[in-house]
């Protein structure tokens, strides 16, 4: 019994892992523009409503999804994937803006002496371009791309890999997400999960799965952190 009590008491949140697209950088509209531009060149029309169906997936999975749907044959999915990543990278470098509260939340967890990681569905090349563009690389002790995992979100692989790289138990981690797909991945990894949905998706009932839902990174504070701590 003493051992069990000790095991329970050792669980203490000390690590935070962030998604990237739509959470740290306002890139979701740019992803949509890039995909539509590249697919337009194939004679495929992808509306904003359709684009939202694949939010949170890896680029190759998005392209595979739409290739199966539209069945174009002029370019391979691999070539189309590379073109989309190149297109969105250039757009982010030219137009990408930090999400509200980005500097605040990274400073907050630094001051709390948390280990900080990033776990994204984006390719590693794009992740590195974004963290350099936003000048936030110094905050992260681990940056992991689902590009190198067997499965992407909603599978928890990328979150588990990031926690392992940080030397943390998933039970000691908070994950920040903006999509249902990402939230599902973080919860499957058994992490406390905070969601910051886009305004038009804020009332999606599926976000009830999260431990906390907020409208902005600025809304997270010491009170919220205390409420997430295991009882």
19 assigned to active site:
yes
21 assigned to active site:
yes
Q: Does CATH number 1.10.150 belong to domain 28-95?
A: yes
pLDDT at 2: 34
Q: Which residue has the tokens 């890999």?
A: 161
* pLDDT lower than 50: segments of the chain: 1-9
Question: Each residue of 149-185: pLDDT tens digit?
Answer: 999 999 999 999 999 999 999 999 999 999 999 999 9
Kindly state the tokens that stand for 177: 């997400």
Q: What is the pTM of this model?
A: 0.88
Q: Where are the domains of the chain?
A: 2-26+97-228, 28-95
Q: Does CATH number 3.90.660.10 belong to domain 2-26+97-228?
A: no
pLDDT at 6: 41
* Closest to 23 in 3D by CA, of 139, 159, 120, 126: 120
pLDDT at 188: 98
């Amino acid at each position: 019994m003493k051992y069990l009590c000790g095991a329970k008491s050792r669980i203490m949140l000390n690590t935070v892992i962030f998604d990237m697209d739509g959470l740290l950088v306002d890139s979701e509209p740019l992803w949509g523009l890039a995909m539509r531009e590249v697919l337009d060149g194939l004679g495929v029309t992808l509306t904003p409503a359709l684009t939202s169906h694949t939010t949170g997936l890896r680029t190759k999975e998005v392209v595979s999804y739409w290739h199966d749907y539209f069945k174009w044959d002029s370019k391979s999915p691999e070539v189309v994937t590379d073109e989309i990543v190149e297109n969105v990278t250039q757009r982010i470098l030219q137009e990408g803006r930090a999400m509200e509260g980005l500097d605040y939340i990274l400073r907050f967890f630094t001051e709390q002496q948390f280990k900080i990681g990033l776990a994204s569905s984006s390719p590693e090349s794009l992740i590195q371009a974004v963290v350099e563009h936003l000048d936030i690389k110094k905050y992260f002790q681990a940056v992991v791309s689902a590009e190198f995992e067997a499965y992407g979100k909603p599978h928890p692989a990328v979150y588990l890999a990031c926690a392992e790289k940080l030397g943390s138990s998933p039970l000691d981690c908070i994950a920040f997400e903006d999509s249902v797909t990402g939230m599902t991945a973080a919860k499957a990894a058994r992490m406390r999960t905070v969601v910051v949905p886009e305004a038009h998706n804020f009332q999606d009932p599926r976000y009830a799965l999260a431990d906390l839902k907020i409208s902005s990174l600025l809304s997270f504070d010491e009170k919220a952190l205390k409420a997430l701590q295991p009882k």
